[in-house]
């Protein structure tokens, strides 16, 4: 794999850390800025909305640029956003800084995935995308716990200063090792927008939404489920989250290789596994060891879908790879919000935490149905790589 992929993975690590570490720092941020925990929680929502709304606009704004220049500019925005987070004097400024940071997220992952796929032969595209997204999984395994520990020991602002430093290293790496694609076709805004009109493309996006909804319906409430149903201590929850992070990393690598083998077939198998492991937690969650095994397998199944979904959507929108790849990242965030809402709805209606895995399983089955419809549309359109 080219060194450029390592730099892209480092960039993904930095972006993933700044997105998720705020959840571990919420009590510190709330206490320091004099706001409630629920108010501090809006910093998470604000970031997600910034990604979903900002992704297509940033993709269109950089459509005429060479991809290397676009990635450098987006990483520059990321650094400025985290710098503003580190020096924020109050809650409103911190919220604005989080939104600024989020603007680069979707476009960077979208364009970065296209660049990663272009660096290797066609039969290794999904593996290359998986390597880039390894940075995102490692952000959950290493970046979030280490960032949380740093913030608790030296103040929450120190975590954002550390992310700024990682961002600067990533920016230098992108500048030094990322090749300039001199053969990149000139962007045509009309053609970019026309690439969005096909039914197959929107079905592919719906797969991503339902997948992310399934994953985050369960992931959002995994800590209270472990504590109240399984009987795991708070320290044990931390260990389980580490185990889940390892499962995500393993699944990411396996998913890349499976997608390089057969894209649609792999997605069907992955969503079946996701539905089964989610549903199984309804019963295995009652005891520690079965719950741990199930969550590890669930995490591996979940992130096995990520590289395949990213390649899949570009297959349908090949005339506008930057835009459609970026929109897919936005779809992930829409699914994140949908999944958290569905999980909360299940709990609020008195069905309890044990019903959350079943809701997640149902959403995975919707992703499976969308996959079968997408494969059928691909065959009608003559897109063999998507079927």
The last residue of a domain, from among 127, 155, 187: 187
Q: Are residues 183 and 195 in the same domain?
A: no
- What confidence tens digit (pLDDT) does each residue in 284-308 have? 989 999 999 999 999 999 988 888 8
Report how far residue 203's alpha carbon sits from residue 381's, in angstroms, rounded to the nearest whole number.
13
Let me know: does 127 contact 260? Beta carbons within 8 Å. Answer: yes
Q: Are residues 146 and 280 in the same domain?
A: no
CA angle 304, 308, 312 (to 5 degrees): 160
Other beta carbons less than 10 A from residue 2's beta carbon:
15
Residue 160 has pLDDT above 90, yes or no: yes
Give 32's contacts (C-beta < 8 A, 6+ positions apart): 155, 156
Q: Are residues 370 and 310 in the same domain?
A: yes
Give 193's contacts (C-beta < 8 A, 6+ positions apart): 320
Q: Are residues 240 and 130 in the same domain?
A: no
The last residue of a domain, from among 187, 222, 253: 187
DSSP label at 229? I
Q: Are residues 179 and 228 in the same domain?
A: no
Q: Is the pTM of this model over 0.95?
A: no
| End-to-end CA gap in the chain | 26
Q: Are residues 169 and 204 in the same domain?
A: no
Structure tokens at 220: 């959002």
The alpha helices in 178-287, defined as continuous H runs, are 189-194, 199-219, 222-225, 234-261, 263-284
Structure tokens at 182: 């001199």
The last residue of a domain, from among 159, 187, 215: 187
Give the model's pLDDT for residue 386. 45
- What confidence tens digit (pLDDT) does each residue in 139-153 have? 877 887 888 888 888
Q: Are residues 225 and 307 in the same domain?
A: yes
Other beta carbons less than 10 A from residue 292's beta carbon:
19
Output the average pLDDT for the chain: 84
DSSP label at 196? T
Report how far residue 38's alpha carbon sits from residue 192's, in angstroms, rounded to the nearest whole number.
40
Give the model's pLDDT for residue 37. 67
Q: Are residues 312 and 167 in the same domain?
A: no
Residue 112 has pLDDT above 50, yes or no: yes
DSSP label at 71? H
Q: For position 131, which CATH number holds? A: 1.20.1250.20
- What confidence tens digit (pLDDT) does each residue in 245-281 have? 888 888 888 888 887 878 888 899 999 999 999 999 9
Most confident of 116-130, 146-160, 312-326, 369-383: 146-160
Q: Are residues 102 and 114 in the same domain?
A: yes
> Greater confidence, 47 or 358?
358
Report how far residue 152's alpha carbon sits from residue 290's, in angstroms, rounded to the nearest whole number.
32
Cα–chain center distance at 76: 20
Give the model's pLDDT for residue 271. 95
Let me know: does 69 contact 111? Beta carbons within 8 Å. Answer: no
Report how far residue 256's alpha carbon sits from residue 131's, in angstroms, rounded to the nearest whole number.
8
Give the model's pLDDT for residue 90. 92
The number of distinct structural domains making up the chain is 2
Sorting pLDDT into bands at 50, 70 and 90, what band is 190? low
Distances (CA, A) of 386 to 34, 260, 327, 378: 51, 11, 18, 6
Structure tokens at 83: 């710098």
Q: Are residues 158 and 196 in the same domain?
A: no
Report how far residue 17's alpha carbon sits from residue 160's, in angstroms, rounded to the nearest whole number.
10
Structural domain span for residue 275: 191-386
List, as one string, the DSSP characters of 283-307.
HHTTSHHHHHHHHHHHHHHHHHHHH
DSSP label at 325? H
Report how far residue 372's alpha carbon sits from residue 200's, in angstroms, rounded to the nearest whole number.
11
Report how far residue 136's alpha carbon sits from residue 183's, in angstroms, rounded to the nearest whole number.
29
Average pLDDT for 336-341: 81
Structure tokens at 258: 């499976």
Report how far residue 188's alpha carbon sits from residue 320's, in angstroms, rounded to the nearest whole number.
9
Q: Are residues 37 and 157 in the same domain?
A: yes
Q: Are residues 42 and 137 in the same domain?
A: yes
Report how far residue 133's alpha carbon sits from residue 195's, in angstroms, rounded to the nearest whole number.
25
Give the model's pLDDT for residue 387. 43
């Amino acid at each position: 794999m080219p060194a450029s992929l390592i730099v892209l993975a480092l960039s993904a690590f930095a972006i993933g850390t700044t997105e998720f570490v705020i959840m571990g720092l919420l009590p510190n941020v709330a206490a320091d800025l004099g706001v409630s925990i629920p108010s501090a929680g809006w910093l998470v929502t604000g970031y997600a909305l910034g990604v979903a709304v900002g992704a297509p606009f940033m993709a269109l704004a950089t459509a005429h640029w060479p991809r290397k220049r676009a990635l450098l500019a987006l990483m520059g925005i990321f650094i400025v956003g985290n710098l503003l987070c580190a020096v924020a004097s109050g809650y409103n400024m911190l919220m604005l800084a989080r939104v600024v940071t989020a603007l680069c997220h979707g476009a960077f992952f979208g364009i970065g995935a296209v660049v990663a796929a272009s660096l290797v032969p066609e039969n290794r595209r999904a593996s290359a995308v998986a390597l880039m997204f390894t940075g995102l999984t490692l952000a959950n395994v290493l970046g979030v716990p280490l960032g949380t520990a740093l913030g608790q020991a030296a103040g929450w602002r120190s975590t954002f200063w550390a992310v700024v430093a990682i961002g600067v290293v990533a920016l230098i790496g992108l500048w030094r090792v990322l090749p300039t694609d001199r053969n990149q076709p000139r962007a045509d805004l009309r053609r970019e927008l026309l690439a969005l009109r096909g039914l197959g493309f929107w079905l592919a996006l719906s797969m991503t939404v339902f997948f992310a909804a399934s994953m985050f319906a369960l992931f959002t409430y995994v800590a209270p489920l472990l504590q109240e149903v399984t009987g795991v201590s708070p320290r044990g929850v931390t260990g389980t989250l580490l185990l889940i992070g390892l499962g995500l990393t393993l699944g990411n690598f396996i998913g890349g290789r499976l997608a390089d083998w057969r894209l649609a077939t792999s997605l069907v198998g992955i969503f079946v596994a996701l539905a089964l492991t989610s549903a199984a937690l309804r019963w295995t969650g009652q005891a520690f060891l079965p719950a741990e095994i199930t969550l590890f397998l669930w995490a591996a199944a979940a992130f096995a879908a990520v590289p395949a979904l990213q390649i899949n959507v570009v297959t349908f929108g090949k005339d506008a790879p930057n835009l459609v790849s970026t929109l897919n990242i936005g779809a992930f965030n829409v699914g994140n919000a949908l999944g958290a809402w569905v999980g909360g709805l299940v709990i609020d209606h008195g069905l309890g935490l044990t019903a959350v895995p079943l809701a997640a399983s149902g959403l995975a089955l919707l992703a499976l149905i969308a996959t079968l419809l997408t494969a059928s549309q691909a065959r009608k359109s003559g897109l063999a790589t998507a079927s």
